[in-house]
Structure 1
Amino acid sequence: MTLTVAQGSATGQGTPVAARANQVWKVYGSGEAQVVALREVSVELQRGAFTAIMGPSGSGKSTLMHCLAGLDSVTRGDVHIGQTKVTGMKDKALTKLRRDQVGFIFQQFNLLPTLTAEENITLPLSIAGRKPDKAWFDTVIDTVGLRDRLKHRPTQLSGGQQQRVACARALVARPEVIFADEPTGNLDSKSGAEVLSFLRNSVREFGQTIVMVTHDPVAASYADRVIFLADGSIVSELYEPTADTVLDTMKRLDTGA
């Protein structure tokens, strides 16, 4: 099933595509042990938009994100980030692509405990031999409210602050797209709302592109668009979602209606 932004949608007609999948299959194992995680999925993710991916457990939502981000290979089909074809890339080129064009935010924060917040934020740039743009770095730090926490190590930060460090780390390199996998899964509701507000604002104010996997209808309501998967296929989508409309759609998927 192919889904593109409809005319009159929140992202607008003719918006450039940040990432796309074309007839993607992902199959694990073979014979009786074969599992089809994705079935001929085609989807375009618009630049400057906040897209949520949802679905029941085992629907393929995390697999789709991993394939789009170049973290996992596809069995058939093609994946592009911007104008770059990810499918078939050699390991070295793929590593460079993920470093330079893709940002990641995970449920577990993935911060290095021996580094300060500032050092964690700039680590990907340091690995790439680049220095952060000071004006942009200051903008990101002030937006996430970490100015007085830059010299603190992760153990000295709350869960919400640690995730905001992870968000800042993803944003400071100005990637083509940021992929977020259950970014509020380990946070209380207040901290989660702070992180989601930051992600939404980074799209609206800075033109960042964010793709988020979540199981939470409230989290999905922060997005511009929600894509729903079931049994490895895209089965529905919502624009300008609310927690209620997301929950209603999930209930229909769970009951097979």
Structure 2
Amino acid sequence: MTSPVIDTPAAGAGAAARAADLWKVYGSGEAQVIALRGVSVELERGRFTAIMGPSGSGKSTLMHCMAGLDSATRGQLAIGDTALNGLGDAGLTRLRREKVGFIFQQFNLLPTLTAEENILLPLAIAGRKADPQWFQTVIDTVGLGDRLGHRPNQLSGGQQQRVACARALVARPEVIFADEPTGNLDSRSGAEILGFLRRSVTEHGQTIVMVTHDANAASYADRVIFLADGQIVDELTEPTADAVLDRIKRLDVVATGASE
């Protein structure tokens, strides 16, 4: 069955992922929580986008909806030219397997598999084989050539996250979503992971969307989107850590004033 395709004048040809008037509501009545309020955003191909905001701002919900991990209450979502709306469980599973890569804070590696087996697992599940030349390029980029036979408990946290990054990249997905990828790492290991993500965009044209609360991590991105109360309230291009911190402080002042 052919996946539905979004065909609207507003749909950007250069978008790896997009949302249009996206709402996400949990619960009902007095227990109702509105996590996203009419968010519209396009994430360009071959770019590194960071999503920031205070706890409860909706940044992780936005990523989960755009990645097909959670359903929208209302609005349109697409990965490339494939609409997520109307896809059943099987269709969403196939889309995530073929077009989306994931990097999570907790690494999510299988302890009984070697680093190489963990990296190749999504392709194995899909019945596909890795392109040998691209696999070697990925391994060289993340510096894991001498660790492929090691299991996760034989690797440092930084090495485990590099395995997770390689796993996301080896299938050449349309877009990679990274949820606080350096949250469990020391500063040196975190810098290595962010450097790898930056190079994967600059040198290999990958598209990366990263949720983070860290201004230094966001400075590796091409664009930073700021959320508050389920809405996009600001954005910054070519960010520096200082510029991101300044923008966050200004948003905090606005939020404090609104609550008084």
TM-score range, shorter chain: over 0.9
Question: 2:152: which partner in 1?
Answer: 154
Match of 2:197 in 1: 199
How far the C-alpha of 1:221 sits from its partner, in A, is 0.2
For residues 185 and 98 of structure 1, the distance between their equivalents in structure 2, rounded to whole angstroms, comes to 23
1:111 aligns with 2:113: no
- Match in the other structure for 2:133: 135
Gaps of 5+ in 2: 1-11, 256-260
1:80-120 per-residue CA deviation (whole Å, 9 max, x = no partner) reads 00000012210001000000000000000000000000000
- The answer as to 2:207 corresponding to 1:209 is yes
Specify the alignment match of 2:49 in structure 1. 51
Cα distance per residue 1:167-214 (max 9 Å; x no partner): 000000000000000000000000000000000000000000000000
* Alpha-carbon distance between aligned partners in 2 of 1:132 and 1:254, rounded to the nearest angstrom: 46
Distance 1:190 1:252 in 2: 29
* Distance (Å, rounded) in 1 between the aligned partners of 2:136 and 2:181: 23
Task: Return the TM-score normalized by structure 1.
Answer: 0.94
Alpha-carbon distance in 2 for matches of 1:212, 1:136? 23
Offset of 1:252 from its aligned partner? 1.3
Contact 1:15 1:47 in 2 (8 A): no
Deviation at 1:239, TM superposition (A): 0.3
> Any unmatched runs of 5+ in structure 1?
1-13
Q: Any conservation in 2 of the 1:117–1:151 contact (CA below 8 Å)?
A: yes
The reply to whether residue 180 of structure 1 matches residue 169 of structure 2 is no
Matched, 1:39 2:37: yes
Task: Name which of 223, 226, 229 aligns with 2:224.
Answer: 226
In the TM superposition, residue 256 of structure 1 has moved relative to its aligned partner by 1.3
d(CA) in 1 for partners of 2:160 and 2:230?
A: 32
1:190 is aligned, of 188, 191, 194, to: 188
Q: 2:71 aligns with which of 67, 70, 73?
A: 73
Structure 1: 4+ residue segments shifted above 6 A? none
SS in 2 for 1:226: strand
CA RMSD in angstroms comes to: 0.9
Any conservation in 2 of the 1:228–1:237 contact (CA below 8 Å)?
yes
Q: Structure 2: how far apart are the matches of 1:190 and 1:151?
A: 24
Code of the residue aligned with 1:60 in structure 2: it is: G
- 1:42 shift after superposition: 0.2
User: Match of 2:82?
Assistant: 84
Distance in 2 (alpha carbons) for counterparts of 1:143 and 1:190? 17
Give, in whole Å, the separation in 1 of the partners of 2:13 and 2:94. 26
Contact 1:52 1:211 in 2 (8 A): yes
Aligned counterpart in structure 1 of residue 164 of structure 2, from 163, 166, 183: 166
Q: Which amino acid aligns with 1:193?
A: A
Per the alignment, residue 236 of structure 1 pairs with 234
* Alpha-carbon distance in 1 for matches of 2:56, 2:203: 34
Aligned to 1:256: 254
